[in-house]
Structure 1
Amino acid sequence: MTEPLFCSVELAARIERAEEQFIAAGTEAAIQRDPGRAFVSPIAGGFACFAEDGAPFNKVVGLGFGGVPDETALDEIESAYAARGSAVQVELAHMADPEVGVLLTGRGYRLVAFENVLGMQLSSVRATPPPDGIDVRQCGEDELEAWLDVVVTGFAYPDDQGTPTHEDFPREIVERAERDLVAAGARTYLARRDGVVAGGGGMRITDGVAQLVGAATVPEHRRRGVQTALLATRLADAAAAGCDIAVVTTAPGSKSQQNVQRQGFHFPYTRAVLVKVPE
């Protein structure tokens, strides 16, 4: 049994800093492809990011722990997104300064979704063997394409448990985003079941926080322990690397949330997803 995780404002701020650095680093990789269109702009302790049309990195992250943004800064950010024909999406932790939410809703942002951030203390994590027939290993460079294929394919067929997503990304956009996450420092893991590639996942470490990302299993291998094995391997590697906490973001009520809670993750906080569509 893992020790219950109490999430203070300080811990939430630490997790959000890791998240904003991850999204910004992934967007920096996109800037290398299109420096005239992609951008990363600091705002009130967070970042406003835009990678390309329809990309999952197109959002404002990390607000609410470094002061309240002023109206002029928001005007500039909103103009930058509008110039690219994009809505402004802000992911705001419920433990952030509540004045930020008041400011955004006053400017016409509307609530469209929630996402749950779950965490686990790693002090008691021990390596556990995977189920029979399942092998999980960190990828070599020659396995990147296999990892991309299984992760992108898995995302194309989401489980229908939990709240429906408000986003839908084309396969080529997801693939480029995953490549950018690898460029941003994410470790990649492949799971094989009876010798066949069945699933994949990623992990990025920032200041002792292990972010577990990019987890997906192709439909024909689901409900066979693939994700449990991927989770256990990454947690053991995170603990061995000196991390004290692991975090994962899920849709509320999803199979992913159920899986990680079964493995000892706790529910520190929620992010509200607020969107403003350009006029």
Structure 2
Amino acid sequence: MVTSKTTYPPQLQIAFENAETQMVRDLFSSISERERDLLGMATLDVAGATLQLITHFPTLTWFNRTLGLGLSRPVTDDDLSDIQAAVRRSGASQIMVSLHPQAQPADLEARLLRLGALPTRALMQLGRDVASSPIPIPAGIEVREVGLDALDTFMEVFERGYGLSGDWRPMFQGILGRLPWHSYLAFQGDEAVGCASLAVFGDFGWLGNAAVVPQHRRQGVQAALIARRIQDSARLGAKYLLTQVAEDLPESPNPSEHNMRRAGFVTAYRRPNYLLPCD
């Protein structure tokens, strides 16, 4: 399902990127300085872009990447050197450079390849007009907005859903119950089986952190979490929704992209990604 066509104009594509950057900055700022230091978390302004780093998880490229590179001004060779130097100082050996379709200059991809950058799986920025057709919450699933008192349950569902363990708790204890964030648990009966987040910044609502425990997949839990967040985004005055997913490929399908497209999300733009060595 490689679907790259978009009806979103360039300026709105840039606004989507800026909204995602705002989300990342707000998320990182919600975490205590001590926890940020332990996880190697930082958002750095380098070369007109934002570098998002969590060096405690160096192989998770989603958390170690650029945002907005080449949008505020054309990227020079010195800019790329500055990015590599900043990543080295952080203790990491590489960063994922994400290229927005409006990034300048036109030969930026070729420059990255000359530096030894390797293409990796692209990210799809998906968008949806909040005012377009709503979708119903499937029967038998209750979605509740939760606060900090539900942190333990939220973390259990998130970690089971993604098969993760480790130091993820600080990523959520600063946002549960704090505006502009909204956190949700999905229940089947008395059991929490799914979780998700929504952050609303002006006209934009960002959807993420969605997970379903393995035994309850393909039962409409993701659809219920998406539907509730669409409803709440409309109530909170957002005009557009955005989310990021790894590109769905024939040899490597991504169910998350399928779920979003069934809920009315379309391609806002495709971001090719390159792993840039920095050591």
Identify the range of structure 1 (232-241 vs 67-76) with the bigger mean alpha-carbon deviation: 67-76
Query: 1:100 matched to which residue of 2?
Result: 108
Residue identity opposite 2:18 in structure 1: R
Query: 1:8 matched to which residue of 2?
Result: 9
Helix, strand or coil at the partner of 1:171: coil
Structure 2 residue ranges without an equivalent (≥5): 249-253
Structure 1 residues 229 and 92, CA gap change in structure 2 (3 angstroms):
same
Helix, strand or coil at the partner of 1:7: coil
Note the C-alpha offset of 1:223.
Answer: 0.8
Aligned match of 1:252 in 247, 251, 254? 247
Helix, strand or coil at the partner of 1:113: strand
User: Identity across aligned pairs (percent)?
Assistant: 25
Query: 1:201 matched to which residue of 2?
Result: 196
1:188 matched to 2:188? The reply is no
Residues 93-141 of structure 1: CA distance to partner in whole angstroms, max 9, x if unpaired? 234333433332333222111111111111234473x222210011122
Note the C-alpha offset of 1:21.
Answer: 1.9
Note the C-alpha offset of 1:202.
Answer: 0.4
Structure 1 CA distance for aligned equivalents of residues 101 and 119 of structure 2: 13
Structure 1 residues 10 and 238, CA gap change in structure 2 (3 angstroms):
same
Aligned match of 1:138 in 126, 130, 145? 145
Kept in 1: contact 2:65–2:95 (CA 8 A):
yes
Query: 1:19 matched to which residue of 2?
Result: 20
Query: 1:267 matched to which residue of 2?
Result: 267
1:47 matched to 2:53? The reply is no
Structure 1 residue ranges without an equivalent (≥5): 157-169
Note the C-alpha offset of 1:12.
Answer: 0.9
Identify the range of structure 1 (33-42 vs 263-272) with the bigger mean alpha-carbon deviation: 33-42
Kept in 2: contact 1:68–1:99 (CA 8 A):
no
Note the C-alpha offset of 1:184.
Answer: 8.9
Identify the range of structure 1 (178-187 vs 204-213) with the bigger mean alpha-carbon deviation: 178-187
Residues 187-246 of structure 1: CA distance to partner in whole angstroms, max 9, x if unpaired? 211100122100000011123111100001001111111110100000010011111111
Aligned residues: 262
Residue identity opposite 1:146 in structure 2: T
Structure 1 CA distance for aligned equivalents of residues 132 and 275 of structure 2: 39
Structure 1 residues 109 and 173, CA gap change in structure 2 (3 angstroms):
farther
Helix, strand or coil at the partner of 2:206: strand
1:277 matched to 2:277? The reply is yes
The CA RMSD measured in Å over matched residues stands at: 2.5
Aligned match of 1:114 in 122, 131, 152? 122
Aligned match of 1:149 in 153, 156, 165? 156
Note the C-alpha offset of 1:155.
Answer: 1.0
Structure 2 CA distance for aligned equivalents of residues 180 and 92 of structure 1: 29
Kept in 2: contact 1:59–1:88 (CA 8 A):
yes
Structure 2 CA distance for aligned equivalents of residues 100 and 46 of structure 1: 14
Helix, strand or coil at the partner of 1:64: coil
Note the C-alpha offset of 1:269.
Answer: 1.3
Kept in 2: contact 1:87–1:278 (CA 8 A):
yes
Note the C-alpha offset of 1:251.
Answer: 1.9
Structure 1 CA distance for aligned equivalents of residues 166 and 138 of structure 2: 33
Alignment TM-score, normalising by the size of structure 1: 0.84
Kept in 1: contact 2:23–2:206 (CA 8 A):
no
Note the C-alpha offset of 1:248.
Answer: 1.5
Helix, strand or coil at the partner of 2:138: coil
Structure 1 residues 14 and 45, CA gap change in structure 2 (3 angstroms):
farther
Note the C-alpha offset of 1:24.
Answer: 2.7
Note the C-alpha offset of 1:44.
Answer: 4.3
Residue identity opposite 2:110 in structure 1: V
1:32 matched to 2:33? The reply is yes
Structure 2 CA distance for aligned equivalents of residues 63 and 142 of structure 1: 38
Helix, strand or coil at the partner of 1:42: strand
Identify the range of structure 1 (66-75 vs 246-255) with the bigger mean alpha-carbon deviation: 66-75
Structure 1 residues 227 and 38, CA gap change in structure 2 (3 angstroms):
closer
